[in-house]
């Protein structure tokens, strides 16, 4: 085949020179060129088949490397990467010949392909790299520039993704790689998370919990390289972008934030896939009312007990100018019905920070149900601060046995506190219980639950701007 190719190329070159010198009759040239092109087409079909074979073979080898990393750790992976296998050597030998032959048949191929690309994507050497080779394999089946450009971008992104994964793995120390893949949080996590909570408790910012969510991410993200964020076309509204975020783009797959577009369900399935893969803690944001679009994905994450975080904002009628279509009513109650899903509705920045701490330490998915409007920060003792993570706690109490217990979540906690103060002014005894996460409270020992909601006090009022279903077991 190689001898035949060399003869074909030489004959094509000879014919082109003769035609240029007008020393060959047109009919004879046409017949000779047709014969040469037939050989050329057969040759290229052979190389296309062999190229596909080797690319598939290399992909199987990549799968083997991935399984090696999972089963034996990064040290073994790096040893295999440093030692070329027979498959890789065979692959390189074949494509060295492929490059030479293909470029002799299409000498302007690289130049034309480069014209379709940006500077950072263009080939700088006279040979082919893997991305251009993938395009060359099916060159004969592509005719339009738009099709070439589309395929070229797809092939480049596919190869870049795998290449960058290996590069990042090589940069990542083996112990750090093993930590991330095992799902263990960093050694300084307790210090980092507790410091963030203490700072919010001291500063007491009067902000919406969606803004508090962003501030929490700014505090913890530099210490959690495994965090992978995103939003369904609402980054500016839901507080998912942090100072260390870097957006993944068509030509750059090194980021830690993905803009999903208006695709809540797709975002959920990608988050589930990342969590199942390991090495990532994914989170994604949208409005609470749009959680309906992602419900199947949310339910599956709970069914599989995967650690990921949903950031669901604009959680009540206080959503601003968007009106009834964006006002969630039944959504919080319906999410609480999903087994093994933790639904947090914090009342201020401190509860938001605690919610994130507990969510990242849990082996199941969590939802952060957050406000659009600013909330009054609450004052807590050390004991109360510690009790937030138990799902419900006594935020404001009275002397002796309370006459009534006001149970509230999120933006309604400040209303319950104001009501309790008004009752105290009339000589009535009221207790305020903040319940940011009913699921965690339900899992507490009976003694703790009795202390917070004593059975002897039957006068109870639940305050939440949502459907009443689900509150009967507490009131």
Would you please indicate which residues are annotated as catalytic (active-site) residues? 264
Say if residues 46 and 137 touch (Cβ distance below 8 Å). no
> Angle 26-72/86-105 helices, nearest 10 degrees?
150
Q: How far apart are CA 460 and CA 462, in angstroms?
A: 7
Q: How far apart are CA 363 and CA 350, in angstroms?
A: 22
Q: Residue 51 to residues 47, 87, 97, 133, 137: CA-CA distances in angstroms?
A: 6, 13, 11, 9, 6
CB 51 within 8 A of CB 146: no
The full DSSP string for 367-381 is EEE--SS--PPPP--
Give the distance, in angstroms, between the CA of residue 190 and the centroid of all CA atoms in the same chain. 24
Q: Are 137 and 113 in contact (CB under 8 A)?
A: no
Indicate the DSSP class of residue 394.
E
Q: What do you get for the CA distance between the two ends of the chain, in Å?
A: 85
- Widest distance between CA atoms in the chain: 116
Question: Counting Cβ atoms within 10 Å, is residue 25 exposed (0-12), middle (13-18) or buried (19+)?
Answer: exposed
Q: With contact defined as beta carbons under 8 Å apart, do 402 and 376 qualify?
A: no
């Amino acid at each position: 085949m190689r001898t035949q190719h060399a003869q074909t190329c030489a004959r094509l070159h000879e014919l082109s020179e003769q035609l240029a010198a007008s020393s060959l009759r047109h009919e004879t040239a046409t017949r000779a060129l047709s014969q040469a092109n037939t050989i050329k087409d057969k040759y290229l079909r052979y190389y296309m088949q062999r190229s596909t074979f080797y690319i598939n073979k290399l992909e199987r080898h990549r799968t083997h490397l991935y399984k090696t990393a999972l089963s034996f750790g990064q040290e073994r992976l790096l040893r295999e990467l440093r030692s070329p296998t027979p498959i890789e050597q065979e692959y390189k030998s074949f494509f060295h010949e492929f490059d030479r032959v293909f470029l002799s048949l299409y000498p302007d191929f690289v130049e034309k392909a480069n014209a379709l690309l940006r500077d950072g994507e263009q080939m700088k050497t006279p040979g082919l790299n893997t991305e251009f080779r993938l395009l060359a394999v099916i060159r004969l089946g592509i005719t339009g520039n738009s099709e070439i450009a589309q395929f070229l971008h797809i092939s480049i992104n596919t190869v870049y993704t795998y290449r960058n994964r290996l590069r990042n793995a090589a940069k990542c120390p083996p112990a750090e790689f093993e930590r991330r893949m095992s799902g263990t949080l960093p050694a300084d996590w307790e210090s980092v998370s507790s410091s963030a909570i203490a700072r919010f408790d001291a500063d007491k910012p009067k902000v919406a919990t969606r803004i508090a969510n962003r501030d929490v991410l700014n505090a913890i993200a530099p210490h959690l390289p495994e965090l992978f964020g995103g939003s369904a076309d609402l980054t500016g509204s839901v507080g998912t972008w942090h100072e260390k975020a870097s957006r993944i783009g068509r030509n750059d797959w090194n980021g830690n934030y993905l803009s999903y577009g208006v695709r809540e369900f797709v975002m959920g399935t990608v988050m589930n896939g990342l969590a199942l893969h390991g090495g990532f803690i994914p989170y994604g944001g949208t409005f609470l009312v749009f959680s309906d679009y992602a419900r199947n994905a949310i339910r599956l994450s709970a069914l599989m007990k995967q650690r990921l975080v949903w950031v669901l904002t604009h959680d009540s009628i206080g959503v601003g100018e968007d009106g009834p279509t964006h006002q969630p009513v039944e959504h919080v109650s319906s999410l609480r019905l999903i087994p093994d899903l933790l639904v947090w509705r914090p009342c201020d920045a401190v509860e938001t920070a605690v919610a994130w701490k507990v969510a990242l330490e849990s082996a199941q998915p969590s939802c952060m149900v957050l406000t659009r409007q600013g909330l009054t920060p609450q004052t807590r003792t050390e004991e109360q601060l510690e009790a937030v993570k138990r799902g419900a706690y006594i935020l404001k109490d009275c002397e002796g046995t309370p006459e009534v217990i006001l149970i509230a979540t999120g933006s309604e906690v400040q209303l319950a506190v104001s009501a309790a103060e008004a009752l105290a002014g009339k000589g009535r005894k009221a207790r305020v219980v903040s319940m940011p996460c009913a699921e965690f409270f339900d899992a507490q020992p009976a003694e703790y639950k009795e202390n917070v909601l004593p059975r002897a006090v039957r006068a109870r009022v639940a305050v939440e701007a949502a459907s009443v279903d689900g509150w009967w077991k507490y009131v």
